């Protein structure tokens, strides 16, 4: 009679041994992971307080005045902002006032005397924006950095009489931004925000008419009557969560 060959038994033994080794490795890994974790009271991560946030802001708006030099720039700003978080996404509404200035260009004077100023020309900025909080619904050691963007309008105030007919008026704005919120207390927050406000200047047709003396226009005949300008806007703010 041919003897039976028992192959299955060593194979089952090997499988059982491998399973035991795998379970031991998993248990060891879990043990190590538990050692490097944090107790809830000692964790650097804490939940962001829920609710709407009212913010009082102060800052400075600078940037380009455009190729002609009549754009608004260089002024202190003050404003209010309302923010609310939906998970890691935040939404905001803002309203600010800026004490900016601009130059006046008279196209009917010669190139040496046509520019005067700067003169005060205030601006009101209103916007709605979204932010992505990089730490989600939590802060890291009280800090929560974010990136985002906003759409809005800039409304220029009254300015000295301009013989060219130029006025800043009301213009659409785009503002990518980044910032950092710090929560020294549960409902109190301090934040710094930096955004690049973009708006379009629109020039009157008179800028292409030469003056009676040297016949040099403010803008060349081939130049566009509008251009985008960029304005760095840095603010600090204090918020309270309701």
Contact status, residue 102 vs residue 119, Cβ threshold 8 Å: yes
Average pLDDT over residues 66-86: 96
Q: In this predicted structure, what is the pLDDT of residue 209?
A: 81
- pLDDT tens column, 190-229: 999 999 999 999 999 989 886 666 678 899 888 999 999 9
Q: Which of these, 201, 189, 193, lies nearest to 96 by C-alpha position?
A: 193
Q: How many CB atoms lie within 10 A of CB 60?
A: 14
Distance CA 196, CA 183 (A): 25
pTM of the full predicted structure?
A: 0.79
The encoded tokens of residue 207 equal 């800028």
CA gap 73, 79 in Å, rounded: 17
Distances (CA, A) of 182 to 77, 114, 231: 21, 49, 25
* Tokens matching residue 55: 């913010």
Q: SS3 of 87, please?
A: coil
pLDDT value of position 87: 86
H/E run at residue 34: helix 8-36
Q: Which of 45-49, 58-62, 197-201 shows the lowest mean pLDDT across its residues?
A: 45-49
DSSP 205: G
Is pLDDT of 21 > 60?
no
The 3-state DSSP class for residue 61 equals strand
Q: Residue 61 in contact with residue 73, Cβ under 8 Å?
A: yes
Q: How many residues does the structure list for the chain?
A: 242
């Amino acid at each position: 009679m041919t003897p039976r060959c028992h192959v299955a038994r060593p194979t089952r033994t090997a499988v059982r041994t491998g399973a035991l080794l795998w379970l031991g490795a998993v248990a060891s890994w879990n043990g190590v992971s538990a050692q490097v974790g944090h107790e809830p009271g000692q964790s650097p991560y804490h939940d962001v307080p829920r609710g709407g946030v009212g913010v009082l802001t102060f800052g400075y708006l600078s940037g380009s005045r455009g190729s002609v030099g009549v754009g608004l720039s260089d002024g202190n700003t003050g404003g209010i902002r309302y923010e609310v978080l939906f998970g890691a996404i935040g939404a905001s509404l803002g309203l600010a006032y800026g004490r900016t200035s601009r130059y006046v260009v008279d196209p009917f004077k010669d190139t040496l005397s046509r520019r005067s100023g700067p003169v005060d020309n205030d601006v009101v900025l209103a916007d709605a924006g979204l932010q992505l909080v990089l730490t989600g619904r939590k802060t890291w050691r009280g800090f929560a950095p974010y990136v985002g963007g906003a759409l809005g309008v800039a409304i220029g105030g009254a300015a000295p009489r301009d013989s060219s007919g130029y006025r800043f008026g009301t213009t659409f704005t785009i503002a990518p931004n980044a910032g950092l919120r710090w929560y020294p207390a549960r409902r109190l927050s301090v934040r710094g925000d930096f955004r690049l406000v973009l708006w379009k200047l629109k020039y009157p047709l008179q800028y292409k008419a030469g003056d009676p003396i040297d016949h040099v226009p403010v803008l060349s005949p081939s130049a566009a009557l509008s251009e985008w300008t960029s304005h760095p806007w840095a603010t600090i703010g204090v918020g309270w969560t309701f």
